[in-house]
Amino acid sequence: MATLFKVVNKLGVGLDKSLLRHTVLSNNLANLNTPGFKRSDVTVTGQFKAELNRASGSRLNRTNARHLPGNSLKKTELFSVVQDRSSVMRNDGNNVDPDREKVLITENQLHYDSLIDAVSRKLSQLRTVIGEGRR
Protein backbone atom coordinates (compact mmCIF):
# COMPACT_ATOMS: atom_id res chain seq x y z
CA MET A 1 0.00 0.00 0.00
CA ALA A 2 2.83 2.42 0.80
CA THR A 3 4.27 1.75 -2.66
CA LEU A 4 0.98 2.88 -4.16
CA PHE A 5 1.28 6.26 -2.44
CA LYS A 6 4.90 6.63 -3.58
CA VAL A 7 3.81 6.09 -7.16
CA VAL A 8 0.99 8.62 -6.85
CA ASN A 9 3.41 11.15 -5.30
CA LYS A 10 5.91 10.69 -8.14
CA LEU A 11 3.12 11.07 -10.68
CA GLY A 12 2.13 14.27 -8.88
CA VAL A 13 5.63 15.65 -9.36
CA GLY A 14 5.32 14.89 -13.07
CA LEU A 15 1.98 16.70 -13.16
CA ASP A 16 3.56 19.72 -11.48
CA LYS A 17 6.28 19.79 -14.13
CA SER A 18 3.75 19.48 -16.96
CA LEU A 19 1.66 22.29 -15.54
CA LEU A 20 4.69 24.57 -15.20
CA ARG A 21 5.85 23.67 -18.72
CA HIS A 22 2.40 24.45 -20.15
CA THR A 23 2.50 27.88 -18.50
CA VAL A 24 6.00 28.59 -19.87
CA LEU A 25 5.21 27.38 -23.40
CA SER A 26 1.95 29.36 -23.47
CA ASN A 27 3.88 32.44 -22.39
CA ASN A 28 6.28 31.88 -25.29
CA LEU A 29 3.38 31.76 -27.73
CA ALA A 30 1.74 34.81 -26.17
CA ASN A 31 4.95 36.79 -26.70
CA LEU A 32 5.33 35.76 -30.32
CA ASN A 33 5.32 39.39 -31.53
CA THR A 34 7.28 40.93 -28.64
CA PRO A 35 10.57 42.35 -29.95
CA GLY A 36 13.60 40.91 -28.19
CA PHE A 37 11.60 38.19 -26.36
CA LYS A 38 13.52 34.97 -25.77
CA ARG A 39 11.63 31.70 -25.44
CA SER A 40 11.92 29.58 -22.30
CA ASP A 41 11.40 25.95 -21.38
CA VAL A 42 11.38 23.83 -18.23
CA THR A 43 14.28 21.57 -17.34
CA VAL A 44 15.00 19.22 -14.48
CA THR A 45 17.56 20.77 -12.14
CA GLY A 46 20.96 19.19 -11.59
CA GLN A 47 20.19 19.00 -7.89
CA PHE A 48 17.03 16.99 -8.63
CA LYS A 49 18.95 14.61 -10.92
CA ALA A 50 21.58 14.06 -8.24
CA GLU A 51 18.89 13.42 -5.64
CA LEU A 52 17.14 10.95 -7.95
CA ASN A 53 20.40 9.05 -8.54
CA ARG A 54 21.13 8.97 -4.82
CA ALA A 55 17.59 7.88 -3.91
CA SER A 56 17.46 5.13 -6.52
CA GLY A 57 20.47 3.44 -4.95
CA SER A 58 19.45 3.70 -1.32
CA ARG A 59 16.47 4.02 0.96
CA LEU A 60 15.85 6.60 3.64
CA ASN A 61 16.41 5.30 7.15
CA ARG A 62 13.76 6.00 9.74
CA THR A 63 14.78 6.11 13.37
CA ASN A 64 11.18 5.96 14.54
CA ALA A 65 8.20 4.10 13.06
CA ARG A 66 6.11 7.28 13.30
CA HIS A 67 8.45 9.22 10.99
CA LEU A 68 7.04 9.92 7.56
CA PRO A 69 9.09 9.15 4.48
CA GLY A 70 10.43 12.46 3.28
CA ASN A 71 11.75 14.26 0.29
CA SER A 72 14.65 16.57 0.95
CA LEU A 73 13.88 18.79 -2.05
CA LYS A 74 11.18 21.43 -2.20
CA LYS A 75 9.01 21.50 -5.31
CA THR A 76 10.60 24.77 -6.37
CA GLU A 77 14.00 23.02 -6.49
CA LEU A 78 12.84 20.20 -8.78
CA PHE A 79 12.59 22.14 -12.03
CA SER A 80 13.91 25.35 -13.45
CA VAL A 81 12.80 27.63 -16.24
CA VAL A 82 15.65 28.20 -18.69
CA GLN A 83 15.70 30.93 -21.30
CA ASP A 84 17.01 30.11 -24.78
CA ARG A 85 19.42 32.90 -25.72
CA SER A 86 21.31 30.85 -28.30
CA SER A 87 19.01 31.39 -31.27
CA VAL A 88 17.30 34.25 -33.08
CA MET A 89 14.33 33.70 -35.39
CA ARG A 90 13.72 37.26 -36.54
CA ASN A 91 15.51 40.57 -37.01
CA ASP A 92 13.88 42.03 -33.88
CA GLY A 93 15.67 39.46 -31.66
CA ASN A 94 12.60 37.30 -30.93
CA ASN A 95 13.32 33.56 -31.14
CA VAL A 96 9.80 32.10 -30.77
CA ASP A 97 8.82 29.68 -33.56
CA PRO A 98 5.00 29.40 -33.33
CA ASP A 99 4.87 25.99 -35.03
CA ARG A 100 7.45 24.55 -32.66
CA GLU A 101 5.71 25.99 -29.60
CA LYS A 102 2.36 24.50 -30.70
CA VAL A 103 3.96 21.08 -31.16
CA LEU A 104 5.61 21.31 -27.71
CA ILE A 105 2.31 22.35 -26.11
CA THR A 106 0.53 19.40 -27.75
CA GLU A 107 3.30 17.02 -26.67
CA ASN A 108 3.13 18.37 -23.12
CA GLN A 109 -0.67 18.01 -23.09
CA LEU A 110 -0.42 14.35 -24.13
CA HIS A 111 2.15 13.77 -21.39
CA TYR A 112 -0.11 15.46 -18.83
CA ASP A 113 -3.12 13.40 -19.96
CA SER A 114 -1.16 10.16 -19.62
CA LEU A 115 -0.08 11.11 -16.09
CA ILE A 116 -3.68 11.94 -15.14
CA ASP A 117 -4.75 8.54 -16.49
CA ALA A 118 -2.05 6.81 -14.44
CA VAL A 119 -3.06 8.66 -11.26
CA SER A 120 -6.70 7.72 -11.86
CA ARG A 121 -5.79 4.05 -12.28
CA LYS A 122 -3.69 4.06 -9.09
CA LEU A 123 -6.46 5.71 -7.09
CA SER A 124 -8.94 3.20 -8.52
CA GLN A 125 -6.68 0.43 -7.26
CA LEU A 126 -6.68 2.06 -3.85
CA ARG A 127 -10.49 2.25 -3.84
CA THR A 128 -10.61 -1.45 -4.74
CA VAL A 129 -8.25 -2.34 -1.89
CA ILE A 130 -10.28 -0.31 0.59
CA GLY A 131 -13.57 -1.76 -0.65
CA GLU A 132 -12.29 -5.33 -0.45
CA GLY A 133 -11.14 -4.79 3.11
CA ARG A 134 -14.68 -4.11 4.37
CA ARG A 135 -15.96 -7.65 3.92
Q: Where are the chain's structural domains?
A: 2-86+97-132
- What element of type H or E holds 130? helix 98-132
Each of the 135 residues of the chain gets a pLDDT tens digit; together they read 566 677 888 888 889 999 999 999 999 999 999 999 999 999 987 655 555 555 555 455 666 666 555 554 455 568 889 999 988 888 999 999 999 999 999 999 999 999 999 999 988 888 888 887 665
Note the pLDDT of residue 58.
47
User: Whose CA is closest to 120, among 16, 134, 112?
Assistant: 112
Note the pLDDT of residue 70.
55
Report the C-alpha gap between 60 and 45 in whole angstroms.
21
Note the pLDDT of residue 24.
96
Note the pLDDT of residue 89.
80
Burial of 21 (0-12, 13-18, 19+ CB in 10 A): buried
> What global pTM score does this model have?
0.71
Report the C-alpha gap between 100 and 29 in whole angstroms.
10
Note the pLDDT of residue 72.
47
